[in-house]
């Protein structure tokens, strides 16, 4: 806290931008909450403004957490547009200058001490406005390789906050001098999971290994169908809690009904897991999941063995790149392309469940990649920039 005088702490003004997806939005929210908690220790409250688009996830999250929100108009230029998207590119090309003007006006009126950007195309106008008015601008990248918006903004950022050590190799030399590895902020609740609560809540057997399967909040059809075909073989070795999303929920419930009674008692399928996720993560022996930035940050912070099935159409192929990196370091196993089959899933999961030494080595490798203190590190950089 010595980074910032008590007097200036009481009027610290932070502008936050970033959104479009949960991967950009939730790290920003976690950083905001952590900043509020740290300043509360000095009996101070930051002045906050979140800038995003009116129909973005960030607007909903800001409202839910009573964070002042300002919507601006902006556009997204798609790199490989089909005929339909080409028309949207043309429309967005006219929207971008409007967004830059609105961003400049917002920064001029707000006069923040520092700006935190967590990416997404909405962050570009604010980044340019920060440069125009000389406001310290912190750019946070969640994925291993910088996204298009952040590659543009890295040229004007005061400080580049990275989630992965390996990301340094993907920066230009001049940008690398302004970079620091903080990690990707994750919800504090994730680090405080209670395995006993999960076992009780889902009526699970503490003597049988638990596998948690999740394709994210909306599910992943590819993972759901792999699991559905592999269930009879997998449940001979473990019990499964499966977050499948709403789209395939009925289909997965039918798969559960088709199981013989002894195996059916080992399978729980839920469309969306709410507050129980930290407890389930703590209880899981192995996690089967996508390799999005938020998921990977949580798994590595917890040192959790995992089988990663990357989303094949992620922007910049970021999920494959991340899963491959973790696999190369021994922190996970990736199933992709021809390897993403029910047979390979069964073989890989069975091997992990029956080899505790391998799981332990994988857990240590995952923990070596994790940064459970990421939110605190981001807040330290905010205070340092504001000072």
pLDDT on residue 73: 86
**Is 238 within a domain?**
yes
pLDDT on residue 240: 98
CA angle 62, 42, 15 (to 5 degrees): 30
> Residue 197 CA to chain centroid, in angstroms?
24
245 shares its domain with 364: yes
What string of H, E and C letters represents the secondary structure of 180-246?
Answer: EECCCCCCHHHHHCCHHHHHHHCCCCCCCCEEEEECCCCCCHHHHHHHHHHHHHHCCCCEEEEECCC
**Is 351 within a domain?**
yes
381 shares its domain with 274: no
Q: Which two tokens stand for residue 381?
A: 């950089």
Tell me whether strands 286-289 and 267-270 are parallel, antiparallel or unpaired: unpaired
pLDDT on residue 313: 86
**Is 331 within a domain?**
yes
Cα–Cα nearest to 315, from 169, 75, 143, 183: 143
pLDDT on residue 387: 86
Domain that includes residue 331, residue range: 189-369
161 shares its domain with 287: no
Which residues are CB-neighbours of 157 under 8 A, at least 6 positions away?
Answer: 117, 127, 137, 138, 139, 175, 178
**Is 1 within a domain?**
no
Q: In what order do the strands lie in the sheet with 179-181?
A: 69-71, 47-52, 13-17, 114-117, 137-141, 159-162, 179-181
**Is 94 within a domain?**
yes
Give the number of domains in the chain: 2
Q: Which two tokens stand for residue 243?
A: 């977050």
50 shares its domain with 173: yes
347 shares its domain with 204: yes
Cα–Cα nearest to 117, from 153, 81, 84: 153
pLDDT digits (tens), the chain, 387 positions: 555 555 566 679 999 999 888 889 999 999 999 999 999 998 999 999 999 999 989 999 999 999 999 999 875 655 555 566 555 555 556 667 888 999 999 999 999 999 999 988 889 999 999 999 999 999 999 999 988 888 889 999 999 999 999 999 989 899 999 999 999 999 999 999 999 999 999 999 999 999 999 987 666 899 999 999 999 999 999 999 999 998 889 999 999 999 999 899 999 999 999 899 999 999 999 999 999 999 999 999 999 999 999 999 888 889 999 999 999 999 999 999 999 999 999 999 999 999 999 999 999 999 999 999 999 999 999 999 998
pLDDT on residue 358: 97
193 shares its domain with 129: no
pLDDT on residue 86: 55
169 shares its domain with 193: no
97 shares its domain with 135: yes
pLDDT on residue 1: 54
pLDDT on residue 171: 92
209 shares its domain with 163: no
What CATH number is given to the structural domain containing 173?
Answer: 3.40.50.2000
**Is 218 within a domain?**
yes
pLDDT on residue 335: 97
Model pTM? 0.90
Cα–Cα nearest to 126, from 72, 168, 84: 72
167 shares its domain with 257: no
**Is 340 within a domain?**
yes
**Is 90 within a domain?**
yes
299 shares its domain with 351: yes
- Using alpha carbons, list the distances in angstroms from residue 50 to 14, 119, 377: 9, 13, 20
70 shares its domain with 102: yes
pLDDT on residue 311: 93
């Amino acid at each position: 806290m010595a980074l910032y005088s008590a007097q200036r702490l009481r009027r610290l003004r932070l502008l936050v931008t970033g959104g479009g997806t949960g991967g950009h939005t939730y790290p920003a929210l976690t950083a905001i909450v952590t900043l509020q908690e740290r300043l509360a220790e000095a009996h101070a409250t930051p002045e906050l403004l979140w800038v995003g688009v009116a129909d973005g996830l960030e607007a909903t999250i800001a409202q839910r957490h009573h964070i002042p929100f300002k919507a601006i108009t902006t556009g997204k230029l798609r790199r490989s547009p089909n005929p339909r998207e080409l028309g949207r590119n043309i429309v967005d090309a006219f929207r971008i200058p409007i967004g830059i003007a609105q961003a400049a006006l917002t920064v001029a009126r707000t006069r923040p001490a520092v700006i935190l950007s967590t990416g997404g195309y909405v962050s570009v106008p604010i980044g340019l406005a920060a440069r125009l008015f000389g406001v310290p601008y912190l750019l946070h990248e969640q994925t291993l390789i910088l996204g298009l918006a952040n590659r543009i903004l890295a040229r004007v950022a005061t400080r580049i906050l990275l989630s992965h050590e390996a990301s340094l190799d993907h920066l230009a030399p001049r940008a690398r001098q302004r970079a620091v590895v903080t990690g990707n902020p994750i919800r504090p609740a994730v680090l405080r999971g209670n395995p006993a609560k999960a076992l009780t809540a889902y009526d699970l057997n503490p003597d049988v290994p638990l596998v948690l399967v999740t394709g994210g909040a909306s599910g992943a059809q590819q993972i759901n169908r792999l699991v559905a075909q592999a269930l009879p073989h997998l449940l001979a070795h473990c019990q499964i809690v499966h977050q499948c999303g709403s789209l395939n929920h009925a289909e997965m419930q039918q798969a559960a009904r088709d199981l013989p009674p002894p195996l059916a008692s080992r399978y729980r399928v839920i469309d969306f897991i709410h507050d129980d996720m930290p407890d389930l993560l703590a209880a899981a022996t192995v996690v089967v999941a996508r390799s999005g930035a938020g998921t990977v940050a949580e798994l590595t912070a917890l040192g959790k063995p995992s089988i990663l099935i990357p989303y094949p159409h992620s922007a910049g192929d970021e999920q494959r790149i991340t899963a491959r990196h973790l696999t190369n370091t021994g922190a996970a196993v990736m199933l992709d392309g021809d390897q993403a089959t029910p047979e390979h899933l069964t073989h890989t999961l069975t091997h992990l469940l029956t080899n505790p030494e391998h799981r332990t080595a994988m857990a240590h490798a995952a923990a070596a990649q994790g940064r459970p203190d990421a939110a605190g590190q981001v807040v330290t950089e905010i205070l340092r920039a504001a000072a």
